[in-house]
Structure 1
Amino acid sequence: MTKTIDQKALKFIDDNQLIDKGDKVLVALSGGADSVFLLYFLQKFKKRFGIELVAFHLNHNLRGKSASDDEKFCFDFCSKYKIKFISVSKDVKTYSKQMKISVEEAGRKIRYSELYKTKNKVGCTKIATAHNASDNVETMMLNFIKGAGVKGLSGIPIRRDDIIRPIICLTAEEIRNYLKQKKIRFRIDESNLNSDYERNFLRNEIIPKLKKRLNPRLEEKVLNTTKIISEISSILDAQIKKVKLTALKFYKNELGIKLKVISKLDRSFLNVLIKSVLENNFDVELSSENIYDIVRLISSQTGSMVHLKGNLYVFREREELIIGRKYIGKSDSITVRIRIGQKAEIGNRIISISEVKRKLLKFTGDKSAEFISGDGLGEIFEIRTWRAGDKFKPIGMKGTKKISDFLADEKISSIRKNEQLVLTNNGKIVWVIGLRIDERFKITSDTKRIIKLEVSDK
């Protein structure tokens, strides 16, 4: 039986070209059955593959003495087979509270972050994780139940960049039977027995019944299905990439989707495009309802808005859908005093004012850095949100202009207008920050004192 399992895994790895001769593979080792099997299997066929192995263990510090015992077990296992062992300890619970995410999600983020750090540090070419066919069924079913798109129904990818899943063709039952016959010990995480968790509920209660009643080869059939869906997803990704070239416009803190381009698209394809754009650029998971709400904005009035989790918004402009994160509303007006030679942090921006010598004067097209005449100005400036009725004299113009009209001419999105800042001195607007200085403060040949104004992202 063990020989059959070996042959099945070897064929799967070869067919999918997961391992190349000369690879240095970092194996994620928790001490559980799957990761123990993976490391044992790769060690067993190390010469056949022509590879070098390194094992990585993350102590989540979630299970007290059990977590320490897991780490010691992994160390002893690697010592027995003379495999280089690297262990990292992290406080996952504290991280989850800080980031306001679940402990499971926090553990996943930290695990992959540390795996990549270790991979680069020790010079590995690939990371191998021990996801199996049973994990794939659970993932696909969870995504299906929650209304995932094509990518979610693709299950766990066999390969993603440098990460490979060499034993995703094997079921959890096959792996445990193999270890039992070989008399290879492994650790049991007691939390996996608790069906209060969504995944455990599927694993312990639902999937066994589906296998017994409907299809004992459920994992194999689902793996085949997810591979087909994955191929369809790849084709869609290629088409999405082409459309993005003409549909997307990147701003400093926002992303625009051109309505002229996307309004011509098939509705089904449009749904997939919207999901891809937001999830890839803003690291957010969208539900079907979220996507439908965003698509409805296309035919809505200018000024319509959809709020999403993660302080994300999608705003309907005249010619674009504007996507960005939380902004400062008009009710959240800002007033900050700043002296020459100081910096001020406001939101995600840093604004600085400094005096410079004329020889350092260099005019460029960069609107984030401006030079003004400091003659007659006071030492204290004020940064504030613009107000209704504010006027200034844009450089190059003879007359004055309302800030509201100026922002409209500059095609600043309605939502960004609300957080536009101005710099004033003695009550006069000197700079519409990041956009234009006032004509009255421009530098001339008679200017004696030169002030540099800068704005940058944190």
Structure 2
Amino acid sequence: MSKSASLQIEKRVWQNLEDYIEVSAPRFIVAVSGGPDSMALLYTFHKLNVDSIVAHINYGKRAEESEKDAELVEQMAYEWGFDCHSVKVDPEEADNKNFQQWARKVRYEVFRSLAEEYDADGIALAHHEDDQVETILQKLFRGSGLESWSAMDIWDGELFRPLLETGREEIMKYCVQQAIPYRIDKSNLSSEFARNFLRNEWLERLDQHFPGWKENVKRLPAQAELFSTALDWISNQITDDRDCLDRDQFISLEPELAQALILKKMKEVHPGIELNRDALSEIDKLQELQTGKAIQLTENYEILRDRERFKIVYNRPDALKLLELKQDELENHPFSLDNLVFEIGSCEDPDFENALYLDIDKLEWPLTLRNWKSGDAFQPLGMEGHQKVSDHLTNRKVSASEKNSALVIVSFDETICAIIFPPIENRRPPGTIAESVKCDHTTDRCLIIK
């Protein structure tokens, strides 16, 4: 490799900085393992004077070899003028889980923590063209649908991969030409892990039998993008303003298309989520689903039938279960929850159309804010008898898909003094209070919910 050809890598990295990073003098956390790819990336950042902090993860899986990896990274970081954080983790913490997945989770936690500490503009990774191809192949072989055949991006707003258009062979030649030291992780020569199996036993043979196959694989993400665009169009046709799917149109879709559409809608909330085949097969049962019933897709996702619509419901693992409201605390500081504000104030000029007013002297403090549950009942304002919370929500035209998001305020004597409706644009007021806590001519101060 000539010197001018070698410098093409540096020009490519610089061009990617110019094209993708808006900050004029960006700072990066650079992930460096000690292998040729990451050492080449670090060296180019050194040559280009890119402000960087080196991050090295020592998993301790290879005893003395792991220590030598860390020593090399620390030494070269020092010589090239970079601060270096070498973090040692205990592989026993993987606790018989998939080690590769655990290791990935650990290192990204470290990278993100350092990025926050140093106010970095991104995390630089040494993924290259061959990694890109291997990633797409793994998705193919694992049975991921067409919509999942996406490729890695050079810049996704957090992760920067300036070598993504550079092949492994070109990087190796660059290391030799520039005398960049590196270490080879011998565990990569083992085909125990899926990516190593592809790299060690498949790819060279494919080059022999199918010249140009890599270019064909790299075109697959473009096909996936076309499919995604078509899914967007279908979704827009059968989704209403409440983000519900029209039942008749949805069940008319081919099963594979229906499954892809549901997965796409879920990924709009959680981009990295995956559904196994068993979960996807549950979607076929929607045709027989009765109103108010749901099928469970994952621990946190379900599809609920609401009359002539289907609603994908995400039940947050951190959903509100129990929250205490104390009078003395609210006297000094209003409390906010999502789009609601709880405060204690005067009852002069009340805005009943947009807020709830509860007489604080008629409340048994402290109050508890929680999700409503089956069997809950209260006496709504203006009614003589009690009514179930579920019935009240139905009467107030809260759909079945929204009901799970409703809250109740419970006084210390365990009576429900208000219901808070799910947040819907232009819904006023935000709930219903109980008859027992309404304001009258004797009321001085109120708990105001707006």
1:121-177 deviations in Å (ceiling 9; x for gaps): 556555432112221222111111222234532332233235332322333344334
The verdict on how the C-alpha distance between 1:2 and 1:277 changes in structure 2, with shifts beyond 3 A counting, is farther
1:136 aligns with 132
1:253 maps to none
Matches within 5 A, 1:374-413: 374-375=361-362, 391-410=377-396, 411-413=398-400
Letter of the 1:59 counterpart: I
Matched, 1:198 2:194: yes
Letter in 2 for 1:401: Q
CA contact (8 A) 1:13 1:19 kept: no
5 Å-filtered alignment, 1:10-49, equals 18=19, 22-24=24-26, 26=28, 27-44=30-47, 46=48
User: Residues 218 and 209 (structure 1 numbering): CA distance in 2 closer, same or farther, change over 3 Å?
Assistant: same
How far, CA to CA, are the matches of 2:59 and 2:221 in structure 1?
35
1:257 lines up with 2:244 in the alignment:
yes
The amino acid of 1:58's aligned partner reads: H
The one-letter code sitting in structure 2 at the alignment partner of 1:315 is: L
Change (3 A) 1:77 1:355: closer
Partner AA of 1:35 in structure 2 = S
Residue identity opposite 2:379 in structure 1: K
1:411-439 CA deviation, whole Å, 9 max, x = no partner? 25379559965625657543346642211
Q: Confirm or deny: 8 A CA contact 1:9 1:169 kept in the other structure.
A: no
User: Which residue among 278, 300, 304 is the counterpart of 2:266?
Assistant: 278
The reply to whether residue 325 of structure 1 matches residue 315 of structure 2 is yes
1:135 partner letter: D
Q: CA deviation at 1:290?
A: 3.6
Task: Tell me the residue number matched to 1:331.
Answer: none
Are the equivalent residues in 2 in contact too, given 1:372–1:442 (CA < 8 A)?
Answer: yes
Distance 1:25 1:18, change over 3 A: farther
Q: How far 1:261 moved relative to its partner? A: 9.8
Structure 2 CA distance for aligned equivalents of residues 301 and 244 of structure 1: 23
What letter matches 1:308 in structure 2?
Answer: L
For the structure 1 residues 289 and 18, does the alpha-carbon distance in structure 2 shift closer, same or farther, using more than 3 Å as the test? Answer: farther
User: Within 2, Cα distance between the matches of 1:178 and 1:390?
Assistant: 70
Name which of 434, 439, 442 aligns with 2:438: 442
* Counterpart in the other structure of 2:417: 430
Deviation of the 1:19 alpha carbon = 6.0
Residues 137, 297 of structure 1: alpha-carbon distance in 2 compared, 3 angstrom cutoff: same
Structure 1 position 278, deviation (Å): 0.9
Q: Tell me, yes or no, if the aligned pair for 1:371 and 1:453 is still in contact at 8 Å.
A: yes
1:295/1:58 Cα in 2 relative to 1: closer, same or farther (>3 Å)?
A: farther
CA contact (8 A) 2:74 2:86 kept: no
Quick check: 1:147 aligned with 2:143? yes
The alpha-carbon distance between structure 1 residues 408 and 444, as it changes in their structure 2 partners (threshold 3 A), is same
Pairwise CA distance, 1:440: 2.5
> What is the CA distance between 1:74 and its match in structure 2?
1.3
TM-score (norm 2): 0.72
How far residue 102 of structure 1 moved from its aligned partner, in angstroms, is 4.2
Give me the whole-angstrom Cα distance separating, in 2, the residues matched to 1:125 and 1:239: 34
Q: Does 1:228 align with 2:222?
A: yes
Deviation of 1:281 after TM superposition, in Å, equals 0.6
Q: Kindly tell me: are residues 12 and 382 of structure 1, through their superposed partners in 2, closer, same or farther at Cα, counting changes over 3 Å?
A: closer
| CA–CA separation in structure 2 for the residues paired with 1:281 and 1:425 | 37
1:217 deviation in Å?
4.8
Q: Is it true that 1:243 corresponds to 2:236 in the alignment? A: yes
* 1:209 aligned partner, one-letter code: R
Q: 2:295 matched to 1:306?
A: yes
Match of 2:69 in 1: 70
State the identity %: 23
SS in 2 for 1:89: strand
Task: Give the unaligned 5+ runs of structure 2.
Answer: 331-336, 422-430
Q: Give runs of aligned pairs for residues 318-397 of structure 1, distance below 5 A.
A: 318=307, 319-325=309-315, 358=346, 371-372=358-359, 374-375=361-362, 391-397=377-383
1:374 alignment partner, SS class? helix
* Distance change (3 Å), C-alpha of 1:181 and 1:310: farther
Distance in 1, matches of 2:223 and 2:283, equals: 25
CA contact (8 A) 1:158 1:164 kept: yes
**2:187 is paired with a residue of what secondary structure?**
helix
Aligned residue runs from structure 1 range 174-185, under 5 A: 174-180=170-176, 182-185=178-181
What are the Cα deviations for residues 194-236 of structure 1, in whole angstroms up to 9, with x where unaligned?
A: 3222222222223333334x2355444433x245346536745
Following superposition, the deviation at residue 289 of structure 1 comes to 5.3
Q: Partner of 1:56 in structure 2? A: 54
Which residue number in structure 2 is paired with residue 252 of structure 1?
none
* 1:243 alignment partner, SS class: helix
More deviation, 424-433/167-176 = 424-433
Distance 2:367 2:14 in 1: 68
Contact 1:397–1:439 (8 Å) recurs in 2: yes
Q: Is the 8 A contact 2:408 2:416 kept in 1?
A: no
Given that residues 28 and 115 in structure 1 are in contact (C-alpha distance below 8 angstroms), is that contact kept between their aligned partners in structure 2? yes
Counterpart residue type for residue 198 of structure 1: A
CA distance in 2, matches of 1:95, 1:335: 32
C-alpha change, 1:121 and 1:315, in structure 2 (3 Å) is same
Tell me how far 1:35 sits from its aligned partner: 0.7
Distance 1:370 1:262, change over 3 A: farther
CA RMSD, Structure 1 to Structure 2 (Å): 4.7
1:23/1:125 contact within 8 Å kept: no
Is the contact between residue 345 and residue 447 of structure 2 (CA under 8 Å) also seen in structure 1? no
Tell me which amino acid in the other structure corresponds to 1:439. Answer: E
Comparing 278-287 and 416-425, the one that deviates more: 416-425
Report SS of the residue matched to 2:136. helix
CA distance in 2 between partners of 1:436 and 1:446 (Å): 21
Whichever residue aligns with residue 388 of structure 2, its letter is K
What is the deviation of 1:444? Answer: 0.9
Q: Contact 1:211 / 1:217 at 8 angstroms: preserved in 2?
A: yes
